[in-house]
Amino acid sequence: MHHVRIALVTDTFFPQVNGVTTVTRRMVRALAERKVATAVVAPRYPGTVNGVGELRIRSLPFPPYPAIRLSFPLTRDIAAYLDAFAPDLVHVITEGPLGWIGRGYALRHDLPLVTSFHTDFPKYCRHYGAGLLEPTVWRWLRWFHGPARLTHTPGEAVQAELKRRGLRQAVVWGRGVDATRFHPGRDRTRWRRRLEVGDGVALVLHVGRLAPEKNLATLERAWIAARDALGSRAVFAVAGDGPLARRLEAQMPWVRRVGFLERSDLADLYAAADLCVLPSETETCGLVALEAMASGVPVIAADAGGLQESVHHGVNGLIAAPYDVAGFTANIIRLVMERDYRATLATNARRFAVMRDAARECDELVNQYGGLIGAAAPTPVGRREAQCVA
């Protein structure tokens, strides 16, 4: 497979920070380690230029959500770039304008098509007040992913739903975590000093996009109630940004906000935390939960979607029903007050995350591509167990 050529087409990529870009960068690194030629078609962000093996397409901010970019549908430019690269397989990672063009290119050239389903758009419809569109969105998703030989999705529940809706080619892929980068042994003092977290005080963390689909109303109400009960025994911090950032700041001005962070900074912040609260019910995987768990941080999660596949109540974290404010509040108070219990969950969280190590998934990825193209998969460059990191 050293002479095989893989095209990856995505509507979100570095430097944007989200789970899809994390997984996509991991894929690029995995293929590079195995000397597989790749070409990436992705949006151009302010300050970015074409990197090696990249075509960056001009894009504009999406008005309701400026962090999301809408790329110009430059079909001819993309086709010329892919023609010159001559891919053996096209992997379409998102369902946006660029993904649409990549899908069309693969079908026109009779190339194996792989797609990814990372974002639960039907559930998003409910959170954005458009629940009536849900059946229409499912019809469109069936059309978009239907021709794919494989459709990657990072959760077992989502895979089952896709199969139930006729996408029998759905496979679980993309839920590996870099357990070397995200590690409890990282320096925790820098962030605790910066956030003014004293000795014996618990740092309660939330990481993610500050948007309606993340169920932040439940987070707000639970954090306000927990803070009232705990007083100075806990400090609350949020990493991430999005359209609800101002609302969150207005509702909870005492929360320490650090915005989007580079991966190494984020890894240090996880290590500095004592627990992480994730009330979203729309996660296909919940990579944030796995990163926290790899860092030795127990997670309090919504009993929904991909989060319930990682967070096991009373074993490596605690769960509550997605809108159960009292349940989230009680869980936060318990983990802040019961340090020994928290430590037990933390140990188990790390142990679970290590079993989801990303390197195994990297090997599986190139085996899948090789099978679709009809070539033998290569062995990784360097040590067999080397991490493939985002």
Q: Residue 16 is part of a domain; what is its CATH number?
A: 3.40.50.2000
Q: What is the 3-state secondary structure (H, E, C) of 193-252?
A: HHCCCCCCCEEEEEECCCCHHHCHHHHHHHHHHHHHHHHHHEEEEEECCCCCHHHHHHHC
Mean local confidence (pLDDT), 321-345: 97
Cα angle vertex 291, ends 288, 296, to 5°? 130
Mean pLDDT of the chain: 88
**Cα(100)–Cα(92) distance, rounded to whole angstroms?**
8
pLDDT of amino acid 360? 84
Residues facing residue 238 across a β-bridge:
206, 257
pLDDT of amino acid 17? 73
Instruction: Tell me: pLDDT of 74 over 90.
Output: no
Residues facing residue 257 across a β-bridge:
238
Q: Are 156 and 224 members of one domain?
A: no
Q: Are 168 and 269 members of one domain?
A: no
Range of the domain at 300: 189-354
**Cα(317)–Cα(278) distance, rounded to whole angstroms?**
11
Instruction: Tell me: pLDDT of 2 over 90.
Output: no
Q: Are 170 and 243 members of one domain?
A: no
The verdict on residue 184 lying in a domain is: no
Local confidence band at 1 (pLDDT 50, 70, 90 cut-offs): low
Domains in the chain: how many in total?
2
Instruction: Tell me: pLDDT of 237 over 90.
Output: yes
Local confidence band at 87 (pLDDT 50, 70, 90 cut-offs): very high
Q: Are 145 and 73 members of one domain?
A: yes
The verdict on residue 10 lying in a domain is: yes
| Position 328, amino acid | F
Whole-prediction pTM: 0.78
Q: Are 57 and 124 members of one domain?
A: yes
